Structure 1
């Protein structure tokens, strides 16, 4: 921590250094990048060494670290800061029911849960956020970890149903850009960007969506033969979610 404070102090006081990299900031409260440019600065060698060491520990680049430090000091918002705010909110919502995995990339978050099924297969929910969101905030990928062909077939059947359901309700709301893909034991879908949510609200929307989706998955796997009876309640839950957030 002391080293990190020293690095920040150096950079804030000595912003005359050579780095031919991008300084990428955004106006506070905006998801639209203001400008991305190449600048020439002059920094002391020991500052660069400290920056590189800290950047390596954080799993980021030299320019990204400097950009984040300057942005914080100048009250700007970087893509990394926006993504951190989103993921912090997601973690707050799902931490009691999911295992959160460590990630080196600021744009990724993976949470894991186990099914109440033979051998307790796990399901991973991985969120990858866009640095510069346009139509989509990012992508959610769901994977089941199992070698059982029967379980994989059940997984595919559930998500074929779920994709049809989500697309239908979103179209009723005038949203025609639902995009998803079902693969070998996997499901992925683009997370829709309405442009109306703050970073905290995006995190809430993603967290609540994952919780709703995971609940539906577990209800299905608990008793596939009775899913027809349970489906109306699950669909009601999804409609209620759409009443708060479109994601």
Structure 2
């Protein structure tokens, strides 16, 4: 959806009521008016689609015992928490950020750890290098497209994966997008926990993580070729 600037003549009392409601919902006046009008004419704005996708992800993730919803916001942020079975059980945060750029929607999954342990940081970096390599190869094999991942060395953000970059998703149902993102999240969580539960014997880690990736991701054909 593309946005343009329009002028409206409204009653002052209506604008005051709109501003109050917008403030309560952490929105600005234009966002709220746009949402109300879209709902009235039977359309979904990009923000409304994001909310729908977020709610569907939460519904599916709630069926998993190992992940817990930590933060949900109308601005397009969704966070889950878990912990690793490693020494002092360090916590891990998974965060989805949804945003719009050049009239296209994107999603970014970030994995965050607050650990300062050099040993744990090294293991996390090793795991995410394994996963990123598998992801690049398998995603291209399954969808004939490239993926964008990032593994910074000097940040709590240990891993990030961008979805839908440069790919049109207008013909894809919101339920399909939510299922794809949920499966990726569950795949990542299962792979990470497998790695740390076998940290004393990582000889076959890459092969096993590849099998976990295929188990969750191989049957999804999100991108129409």
Same fold, judged at TM 0.5 (above): yes
TM-score w.r.t. length of structure 1: 0.78
CA contact (8 A) 1:58 1:104 kept: no
Distance in 1 of aligned mates of 2:61 and 2:12: 43
Residue 117 in structure 1 maps to residue 81 in structure 2 = no
Residue 160 in structure 1 maps to residue 129 in structure 2 = yes
- Number of matched pairs: 214
Residue 175 in structure 1 maps to residue 147 in structure 2 = no
Q: What is residue 93 of structure 1 aligned with on the other side?
A: 60
Where does structure 1 lack aligned partners over 5 or more consecutive residues?
A: 1-32
| Residue among 214, 220, 241 paired with 2:195 | 220
4+ runs of 1 displaced by more than 6 Å?
133-136
Where does structure 2 lack aligned partners over 5 or more consecutive residues?
A: none
Deviation, structure 1 residue 126: 1.1
Deviation, structure 1 residue 223: 2.0
The verdict on how the C-alpha distance between 1:133 and 1:216 changes in structure 2, with shifts beyond 3 A counting, is farther
Q: What is residue 160 of structure 2 aligned with on the other side?
A: 188
> Greater CA deviation, 115-124 or 62-71?
115-124
Residue 40 in structure 1 maps to residue 16 in structure 2 = no
CA contact (8 A) 1:136 1:190 kept: no
Residue 243 in structure 1 maps to residue 215 in structure 2 = no
The verdict on how the C-alpha distance between 1:86 and 1:133 changes in structure 2, with shifts beyond 3 A counting, is farther
Q: What is residue 65 of structure 1 aligned with on the other side?
A: 32
CA contact (8 A) 2:187 2:213 kept: yes
TM-score w.r.t. length of structure 2: 0.85
Distance in 1 of aligned mates of 2:103 and 2:185: 21
SS at match of 2:146: coil
The correspondence of residues 75-154 of structure 1 with structure 2, limited to 5 A, is 75-95=42-62, 96=64, 97-131=66-100, 137-154=106-123
CA contact (8 A) 2:131 2:209 kept: no
Distance in 1 of aligned mates of 2:83 and 2:102: 31
CA contact (8 A) 2:111 2:159 kept: yes
Tell me the alpha carbon deviations over residues 184-242 of structure 1, each in whole angstroms, 9 at most, x when there is no partner.
34101111346353111101110111011001001111222323335434322312313
Deviation, structure 1 residue 132: 5.7
Distance in 1 of aligned mates of 2:207 and 2:222: 20
Deviation, structure 1 residue 135: 8.1
CA contact (8 A) 2:51 2:74 kept: no
Tell me the alpha carbon deviations over residues 93-113 of structure 1, each in whole angstroms, 9 at most, x when there is no partner.
112432213344432211111
